[in-house]
Amino acid sequence: MAKHSLDKDKIKFLLLEGVHQTAVEVLQRAGYTNIEYHKGALSGDELTNAIKDAHFVGIRSRTQLTAEVLQQAEKLVGVGCFCIGTNQVDLKAAELLGVPVFNAPFSNTRSVAELVIGEIIMLMRGIPQRSASAHRGGWIKSAKGSYEVRGKTLGIIGYGHIGTQLGILAETLGMRVVFYDIEDKLPLGNASQIRSLAEMLAQSDVVSLHVPETPSTQNMFGAAELEAMKQGAFVINASRGTVVDIDALAAALSSEKIAGAAIDVFPVEPKSNDDEFQSPLRGFDNVILTPHVGGSTEEAQENIGIEVAGKLAKYSDNGSTVSAVNFPEVSLPQYHETSRLLHIHNNRPGILIKINQAFSEKGINIAAQYLQTTPDIGYVVMEVNTSQAAEALEQLKGIEGTIRTRLLY
Ligand SMILES: NC(=O)c1ccc[n+]([C@@H]2O[C@H](COP(=O)([O-])OP(=O)(O)OC[C@H]3O[C@@H](n4cnc5c(N)ncnc54)[C@H](O)[C@@H]3O)[C@@H](O)[C@H]2O)c1
Ligand SMILES: O=C(O)CC[C@@H](O)C(=O)O
């Protein structure tokens, strides 16, 4: 019977930010029992101490895996983001260290789209301010400023997995949907793409942002964009807090240019549920403030736990990197009666030749070989006779340009 290079109970999984229990169950079913589980995020020394002997780390959006943190995680083999966003990880640093990063690109998209639909209706009816007033003993029984969503125009910025689902749901409520995206996108239903953001803003009764955090989306929605909107329109942001200039939004709410907003993500978010939430948007009755819960439903979290833990277990067990966000993607079949070796190297000419030469000189037969590259790194997976696996591993370690190697069986 073939043996793992490292026993599964020695492979440490560090799971942070209360990822769903399904993640623990998937890992345990796959034979991984060395799981350190934390309900909250870790930072500073606590994070570096916990991660330094971890082979895998699972996080959500709070934990910052910077280049410095990753460099101290000497045993790290893979990272799982139990969410969509991967902006909290220095993806390039992880790649250069030979560490693939996985996420869950679809599992919570419906939850976000549903929340936004609810918010559109609430904002257009002026419910947040009526509710806030009622809590203080007020009674604003009036139709003034309350509208049906039917026939109104929804402008979506970022027409990806969430934006498209939102568009379809909004159309079923009778809304007209327009969208702005830097890429040409297939419009679903009756939606139409508008090439100029200003033009789209001028048409929209409510604007909802669904872009990732990138250098191009940093503060992409500020004073000029708010000014380009219709008088009395609404803003929704459940993407990332860095995308909207929150001070400019507060000013537009104060001047009543913007009639209301629903904001789920903030430039600075509390590190835990025990910390105070601070924002210039506090105190506006016509603003729905939610604590970054767009994707936080039981269904989404359960599915994310299964999906991401499954990807980590698969990479650990057989080397497959399919759907990694920063790494050459290699889809690998099951293998029997051979040992599998993983070799991650700097992408420079001649490495594969050197590996093949070294194996040939030692009489090591390669039963199968798979290679994928990015401009910076190469990932080669080889199958060799189990009796030659240890020797093959030694040969791989000696290849110049090697970042990391692993023997699976
Ligand atoms: N609030 C939450 O809990 C929550 C949950 C899930 C996702 N999110 C956030 O929502 C974001 C979007 O998720 P998704 O699954 O729809 O992503 P996606 O990658 O499927 O879609 C993003 C879209 O934005 C477009 N885009 C990128 N840069 C742009 C720019 N500068 N201007 C206009 N369009 C641009 C892309 O072309 C793409 O179509 C995620 O990156 C994540 O940060 C938040
Ligand atoms: O669960 C989280 O912390 C983040 C959820 C969301 O922002 C995502 O990127 O999927």
pLDDT digits (tens, 9 = 90+) for 238-285: 999 999 999 999 999 999 999 999 999 999 999 888 999 999 999 999
**Overall average pLDDT of the 45-60 stretch:** 97
Mutate to test the pocket of ligand 1, among 210, 237, 304 (most ligand atoms within 8 A of CB): 210
Angle at 301 between CA 63 and CA 26, to 5 degrees: 90
- 145, 122 Cβ separation under 8 angstroms: no
Q: How confident is the model at residue 1 (pLDDT cuts 50, 70, 90)?
A: very low
| Ligand 2 pocket residue status of 84, Cβ below 6 Å | yes
pLDDT at residue 334 greater than cutoff 90? no
Q: How far is the CA of 301 from the centre of ligand 2 (A)?
A: 10
pLDDT at residue 227 greater than cutoff 50? yes
Atom of ligand 1 nearest to the CA of 211: 24
The pLDDT value recorded for residue 336 is: 75
Q: How far is the CA of 243 from the centre of ligand 2 (A)?
A: 15
The pLDDT value recorded for residue 405 is: 96
DSSP label at residue 215:
G
Tens digits of per-residue pLDDT, 79-106? 999 999 999 999 999 999 999 999 999 9
The pLDDT value recorded for residue 5 is: 65
Q: How confident is the model at residue 73 (pLDDT cuts 50, 70, 90)?
A: very high
- 58, 308 Cβ separation under 8 angstroms: yes
The pLDDT value recorded for residue 4 is: 45
**Overall average pLDDT of the 62-69 stretch:** 97
Q: How far is the CA of 159 from the centre of ligand 1 (A)?
A: 8
| Ligand 2 pocket residue status of 308, Cβ below 6 Å | no
Residue nearest to atom 33 of ligand 1 (CA): 181
The pLDDT value recorded for residue 6 is: 79
Q: Helix or strand or coil: residue 15?
A: strand
Residue nearest to atom 18 of ligand 1 (CA): 160
Which residues does ligand 1 sit against, CB inside 6 Å?
84-85, 108-109, 112, 157-163, 180-183, 210-214, 216-217, 220, 238-240, 264-265, 292, 294-295
Q: How far is the CA of 56 from the centre of ligand 2 (A)?
A: 19
**Overall average pLDDT of the 148-174 stretch:** 98
State the catalytic residues: 240, 269, 292
Q: How far is the CA of 94 from the centre of ligand 1 (A)?
A: 22
Q: Helix or strand or coil: residue 14?
A: strand
Atom of ligand 2 nearest to the CA of 103: 10
* pTM listed for this prediction: 0.93
Q: What is the mean pLDDT of the chain?
A: 96
**Overall average pLDDT of the 58-65 stretch:** 97
Q: Helix or strand or coil: residue 260?
A: strand
- 287, 300 Cβ separation under 8 angstroms: no
CA separation for the pair 201, 179 (Å, rounded): 9
* Structure ipTM: 0.99
pLDDT at residue 30 greater than cutoff 70? yes
